[in-house]
Amino acid sequence: MVSQLVSATLQGLGLDVIDLGLSTTPTVEIAVTAEKAGGGIILTASHNPVQWNALKLLNEKGEFISSADGAEVLRIAEAESFDFAPVDKLGKYSLNNSYLQKHINLILKHKLVNVKLSKKQNSRLLLMR
């Protein structure tokens, strides 16, 4: 429900949404830069108590936004100083659940990951030198 609400709100503001589906925070960080997105939002239940579950906001570099940027987001929301897009300028929605595998592939290609040793030892975890 929260995912649909966030996506529809962003589309209503005229922003395109790429939904990564169930993912990890580092995977979303990678996807933001790979997609050349203006930012990212991670809906999280994480390990926190229910009252602390929320949205993690990322900038265009796939990094968590600064406290100043966070304060600006809150100011805009509280002042309702935003406009919804006209119906012919609504954002598009797409689902791309390929990023978990893309992230795994990037890890496997990393110079510090020894895939051969991991396979040789029949390990389920990747070993790093």
The span from the CA of 52 to the CA of 26, in Å, is: 20
The average confidence (pLDDT) of the chain is: 90
pLDDT on residue 129 = 39
pLDDT on residue 114? 80
pLDDT band of residue 128 (cuts 50, 70, 90) is: very low
Domains of the chain: 2-97 (3.40.120.10), 98-129 (no CATH)
Which residues are the active-site residues? 46
Give per-residue pLDDT as tens, 81-126.
Answer: 999 999 999 999 999 999 999 999 998 898 888 878 767 776 665 5
Is residue 52 very low, low, confident or very high in pLDDT (cuts 50, 70, 90)?
confident
State the angle between helix axes of 25-34 and 99-109 in degrees (0 to 180), rounded to the nearest 10: 90
